[in-house]
Copies of this chain bind each other. A is one copy, B any other.
Amino acid sequence: MEIDFEKGGGLVPVIVQDASTGEVLMLAYMNREAWEETLKTRKACFWSRSRSKLWMKGETSGHVQEVKEMLLDCDGDALLLKVRQAGGAACHTGFRSCFHHHRREDGWRAFGKKVFDPKEVYDK
């Protein structure tokens, strides 16, 4: 069993789940280099598709993800990380989870409260 980076053009999607609560925090991507960095440091490192570079999660915010478990799916083309989320929030908007829009009859509605103020974290 090996990670199949080829199927997705060098990238695999990575689900990040809170190791203690089971809440899904975010979805990001890894290339082989990001995967090897994550294996080595036990802190989540992704490939930023928008910036086209390695993205050590928490490098700006301090909200690093300490990796507790790593799982691979049956056909090797998706990863699941169970993490301890520093700072209590994974999303750059200040919400605990990036998945904070619920589907309602009339469309997508944000829910929940922000854990931090993005201005305080990113505009230092």
Could you give, for residues 81-124 of chain A, a 1 whenever the CB lies within 8 Å of some chain B CB and a 0 otherwise?
Answer: 00000000001110100111111000110100000000000000
By beta carbon, the residue of chain B nearest A23 is B22
CB of A94, distance to nearest CB on chain B (Å): 10
With A1-B107, A80-B99 in contact, is A73–B26 under 8 Å at CB? yes
Interface size on A, residues (CB 8 A): 34
- Chain B residues, Cβ within 8 Å of A70: 102-103
CB of A97, distance to nearest CB on chain B (Å): 8
By beta carbon, the residue of chain B nearest A71 is B99
Give the contacting residue for A93; candidates B26, B74, B95, B107; CB below 8 A.
Answer: B74
- Chain B residues, Cβ within 8 Å of A54: none
Assembly stoichiometry (copies)? 2
Give the contacting residue for A73; candidates B23, B71, B80, B98; CB below 8 A.
Answer: B98
For the complex, is A56 an interface residue (Cβ under 8 Å from B)?
A: no
**Which A residues from 1 to 46 make CB contacts under 8 A with B?**
1-2, 13, 15, 17, 21-24, 26-27, 39
Sampled A-B contacts (9; CB under 8 Å): A1-B108, A15-B24, A17-B24, A26-B73, A70-B102, A71-B102, A72-B101, A73-B101, A80-B99
